[in-house]
Amino acid sequence: MAKLERLVLHCTATPEGRAVTSNDIRAWHTNPVSKGGRGWKQVGYTDMIHLDGRVERLVQNNEDANVDPWEITNGAQGYNSTSRHVVYVGGVAKDGKTPRDTRTSAQLASMETYVKDFHRRFPSVRIVGHNELAAKACPSFDVQKWLKSIGINQ
Please write the tens of the pLDDT for every residue from 114-154: 999 999 999 999 999 999 999 999 999 999 999 999 999 98
**Residues 58 and 45 sit within 8 Å (Cβ to Cβ):** yes
CATH number of 2-143: 3.40.80.10
Q: How far apart are the first and last CA of the chain?
A: 25
Nearest Cα neighbor of 67 from 57, 50, 79 is 79
Residue 49's beta-bridge partner residues? Answer: 55, 88
Nearest Cα neighbor of 76 from 35, 45, 50, 33 is 45
Helix (H, G, I), strand (E, B) or coil at 88: strand
What are the structural domain ranges in the chain?
2-143
H/E stretch holding 105: helix 105-121
Please write the tens of the pLDDT for every residue from 20-67: 999 999 999 999 999 999 999 999 999 999 999 999 999 999 999 999
- Whether the full predicted model's pTM is greater than 0.85, yes or no, is yes
